[in-house]
Amino acid sequence: MGKTFAEKALGRAAGHEVRAGEIVTVEPDFCMSHDNAAPIARTFKKIGVKNVWKPERIVFILDHAVPAPSDDHAINHKEIREFSAEQGIANFFDVTSKGGVCHQVMCEEGFALPGLIMIGSDSHTCTYGAYGAFSTGIGRSEMAAAWATGQIWFKVPESLKVTVTGSFRPGVSAKDLILTLIGDIKADGADYMSVEFHGPAIEAMSIAERMTLCNMGIEMGAKNAVCPPDAKVLEAIRDKAKTDRWEALWADDDAVYAKELTYDAGDIVPCVAKPHTVDNYAAIDEAKGTPIHQAFLGSCTNARIEDLRAAAAILKGKQVAVRTIVIPASWKVYRQCLAEGLIETFLDAGCVITNPGCGPCMGNHEGILAPGETCISTANRNFKGRMGNKESFIYLASPLTVAASALKGEIADPREVL
């Protein structure tokens, strides 16, 4: 009987064969924290251990509110600076032009690698599955404990196999696929599970698109989400892998799955997730015409160069009709936008282009909504109050749909402007 990806990755880390349902304790390859490293450090100090188990395995990336927008945030950042200096944590991305949204930086900088066990004190840590890593989000206490002990327990998850064939039609992208999938299986459709993406449509995708898919694994309750570590991944990590502990692992053909689903990419249409849940799917035909007050192109889900190129192609030479906030996922992406003239395109179209970071995604920074306002966003959550105000409304969509909507001032079908 074959094994799933999760069984292989956790078995490799545990040093013995494992099957779904078993509880294993493993040593994480990398532990990622963002601005919440400060409260975690305080909890860590309460444990009473002097030093973190392996400083080289800990990564801090400031992204939730950078540069600090209040003295409270500034104090939080300062605590992280002091803690990383004291503990010798060299992988610290401070307020400079070297960082960005934590998950993007983890991938760009070669931390996300096939077969590694990666934990992060952020629920979207599952993004690194695009590189074939077993990666998952955990809470603050658990991260503090991991720093102290170098260990974390997992119940080996059952797996959901999603096979995608065919190819996207123009105006459709990975975001539409993942919103469709979550709409179908709902917010708890993959609770506790490992989601594996298989099939020719996945293989045809860029790593950026795979990151969009894996990023939203958590939105269906998954423990992790993963794509095959194929030649594209191996090429992407060449010369930048931060460790050689990695190994390209993938599920056996005869692995046993709790559930299997198949999609034809050609059947997917542009869509949105309506307020206030990610699984509140609506095809674009149903949603278009909804007036909006703000468009947001950003977040760890959809702000890579591929996403911004797609949006810029729609915005070029035109004027946005609503305030449009563009936040590249990282400074590398920002730099690439400059080189390709996209920053100019966005500025000329009337957008705000801020420094990379999480922006308004979780109600902390640039672009908070007022009561009664509606935003169309490329981010991953549209929960009530998510962007800072409980009486506002968030629609999730692809970069193409967000750009098309920004031009019209209402939710629009990107196929009509392409």
Are 395 and 273 spatial neighbours (Cβ–Cβ below 8 Å)?
Answer: yes
CA torsion angle for 117, 132, 299, 326 (degrees, to 10)?
Answer: 140
Peptide bond before residue 34 is cis, with ω within 30 degrees of 0: no
- Of 236 and 353, which CB lies nearer to another protein in the complex structure? 353
Structure tokens that stand for 140 in this block:
């603050």
Least distance from another protein to the Cβ atom of residue 198, Å: 22
Q: Which residues does 244 contact at the CB level (< 8 Å), separation at least 6? A: none
Residue 369 sits in the site that holds another protein (CB under 8 A)? yes
Quick check: 217 and 230 in contact, CB under 8 A?
A: no
Q: 36, 104, 212, 398: which one contacts another protein (CB under 8 A)?
A: 36
Query: Residues 6 or more apart from 82 whose CB is under 8 A from it?
Result: none
Judging by beta carbons within 10 Å of its beta carbon (0-12, 13-18, 19+), is residue 1 exposed, middle or buried? exposed
Q: Which stretch binds another protein (CB under 8 A): 3-11, 66-74, 177-185, 300-308?
A: 66-74
Does the protein bind another protein through residue 65 (CB under 8 A)?
Answer: yes
Among 168, 281, 331, 395, binds another protein (CB under 8 A): 331
Among residues 10, 156, 353, 412, which is the contact residue for another protein, using CB under 8 A?
353
Closer to another protein at the Cβ: 257 or 383? 383
State which of residues 367, 393, 402, 404 lies at the interface with another protein (CB under 8 A).
367
State which of residues 76, 84, 159, 378 lies at the interface with another protein (CB under 8 A).
76
Q: Is the dihedral of CA 37, 38, 40, 46 positive or negative?
A: positive
Question: Does the footprint of another protein cover residue 85 (CB under 8 A)?
Answer: no
Containing 102, the helix (H) or strand (E) segment is helix 102-108
**The binder of another protein chosen from 95, 204, 258, 283 (CB under 8 A):** 95
Q: Which of 27, 203, 247, 348 binds another protein (CB under 8 A)?
A: 348
What's the DSSP call for residue 292? -
Instruction: Tell me if 234 contacts another protein by CB under 8 A.
Output: no
User: Contact between 316 and another protein (CB under 8 A)?
Assistant: no
* Residue 188 engages another protein in binding (rule: CB under 8 A): yes
**Radius of gyration (Cα) for the chain, nearest Å?**
20
Of the candidate spans 10-18, 176-184, 198-206, 347-355, the one that interacts with another protein by CB under 8 A turns out to be: 347-355
Q: Does 35 sit near another protein (CB under 8 A)? A: yes
Which 109-128 residues touch another protein, going by CB under 8 A?
Answer: 120-123, 125
Q: Which stretch binds another protein (CB under 8 A): 253-261, 307-315, 386-394, 404-412?
A: 386-394
Nearest Cα neighbor of 212 from 124, 319, 295 is 124
CA separation for the pair 62, 195 (Å, rounded): 28
Closer to another protein by CB, 233 or 361: give it.
361
Phi, psi dihedral angles at 94 (to 5 degrees): -85, -165
- Closer to another protein by CB, 189 or 399: give it: 189
DSSP output for 162-192: EEEES-PPTT--HHHHHHHHHHHH-TTTTTT
How far CA 341 is from CA of 120, 152, 323, 337, in Å, comes to 34, 45, 21, 6
Closest to 324 measured CA to CA, from 334, 335, 312: 312
For the bound state, the minimum distance from the C-beta of residue 316 to another protein, rounded and expressed in Å, comes to: 15
Question: In the complex with another protein, which residue's Cβ is closer, 87 or 173?
Answer: 87
* Closer by beta carbon to another protein, 125 or else 377: 125
**Closest CB 98 distance from another protein, rounded Å:** 7
Q: Which is nearer to another protein, 76 or 398 (CB)?
A: 76
Site membership for another protein, residue 100 (CB under 8 A): no
Judged by CB under 8 A, how many residues of this single chain contact another protein?
Answer: 98
Residues 40-59 that bind another protein (CB under 8 A): 43, 46-49
